[in-house]
Amino acid sequence: MTTARQAAVDILARSHSRAGFASELIDEQLNRAPLSGQDRRFVTQLVFGVLRRKGTLDALLRPFIRTPLHAVQDRVWDVLHLGAFQLTFLTHVPKHAAVHETVELAGHIGSPQAKGFLNGVLRRVAELVTDDFTDKPTADAVPFDWEAKKPNPPASFPKREGGERPGVRSPSPLGGGVGEGSASITPRYRKLTKPVLPDPAAEPDAYLAAAFSWPKWLANGWLDLFGADECTRLGFWFNSPPPLWIRTNKLRVDRETYRLQLAAGLIDAEPGEHPQSLRLLENHSIRDLPGYADGDFAVQDHSSMLVAAAIAPQPGMRILDLCAAPGGKTTHLAELMDNRGYITACDIDQKRLDTVMSLSQRLGIKGVEPVLLKENDDPPPGPFDAALVDVPCSNTGVLGRRPEVRWRLKPIEFEHLIRLQTKLLLQAVERVKPKGVVVYSTCSIEPDENERVVQGVRRAIKGLTLEAEHHSIPGRPSDGGYWARLRKL
């Protein structure tokens, strides 16, 4: 019988091959493994925790590995990460149990000879991690968790005159305090018996990378762009489980009625800014929520709900959804048109396009025509009343939800992404009628993928008006992202 730790280490192995995002791999594994509800939650906690904290776990492990690091097998590294995560970040798991149960995975991964090595390293990590906490970042304390106070957030990142978003520079060393325009947080750092992290005052970029588990290049860029305080807040946010948001299906039920249905089942939820949004205060199995099979709701982050609404779709409109999968924004457009519109839903992956249609069927959505685009295919010619271009992007606004992105993404990929984003936006503009609307969106917080792509297309196409744009800031209250509404004159 498969144990929770065995399932977790198998999922981690698959994640290295880019077989899918962690959430997809976890679902596949748990559908095959007969685990209890408690063990299923433990698997999810382990996998996401290791992927989010991998950089920090490496910093904790390296001082105790005497062999060349490249000589350690990948699957043995996975076991080390799994053990170090439990020892450092899971206070409900006794240290002796974390060490023993993790070392026993050596046989499961086909490396029984590694037991002694695993046991020696993990015992040293157990001795390194204390039960004491502080609220200050130091080289001998690991960021553990945080409590966010209710902020009064601006609608977007602060802007310079002319609309460009600046970095919010902090004159002080990295701290757990409040940067300009950021939410107040109360951080906890777990004390170590000796320093293993860079000095946050002397090497703020190296500290950010090791303490919050980011690639060094990303820490450098964000420190310049956002400043030290905001980077600290982002670090805690992206290393915490993201909240679960759902969008009530306005074709079937209004938000307050559905919230009361949840309350009747002892499920607490609070409304968000968008009139269809609800945030569940605890995690629940999606398929077990009331009305799932009847299509009363879809899972969608709050920031994503704002994108379809930016088009202001009306019944009878013909809309091009150029990058439709997995279908959250597609179906939202249909709901906003009261199921009386026509959506051409394009994607380059048949499996993901099938997901769009499955979601449409569950929600009772009509008028969605799926179109599979092969490489170098042009989108349908239209003309359309409006277009949504939710482009492939770096995903830097959703690193908590897709933690493996921080390790898969490379700086050289931005050039390719920006070319593709620009091409897709140009294609959408060409296919919209005069006076039609195009909404461009990403789940990125990088200016090069967001406002600068829009600025470049506006320079290339005269008579394209920027009517509105919005930056969703990670953690205030949900995922990070961007959208811009353009009008073709």
Element (H, E) at 200: none
Catalytic site residue from 231, 346, 393, 443: 443
Q: How many CB atoms lie within 10 A of CB 270?
A: 12
Q: How many CB atoms lie within 10 A of CB 185?
A: 20
Active site residue 231: no
| Residue 176 per-residue DSSP state | S
Rounded to whole angstroms, how far apart are CA atoms 466 and 455? 9
Rounded to whole angstroms, how far apart are CA atoms 219 and 236? 14
On whether the CB atoms of residues 46 and 5 are closer than 8 A, the answer is yes
Nearby residues of 97 by Cβ (< 8 Å), 6 or more positions away = none
How big is the chain by its Cα radius of gyration, in Å?
Answer: 23
Q: What is the CA angle 479-480-482, rounded to 5? A: 130
CA distances from 359 to 27, 336, 369 (A): 17, 16, 13
Rounded to whole angstroms, how far apart are CA atoms 192 and 124? 12
What do you get for the CA distance between the two ends of the chain, in Å? 64
Which residues are annotated as catalytic?
Answer: 443
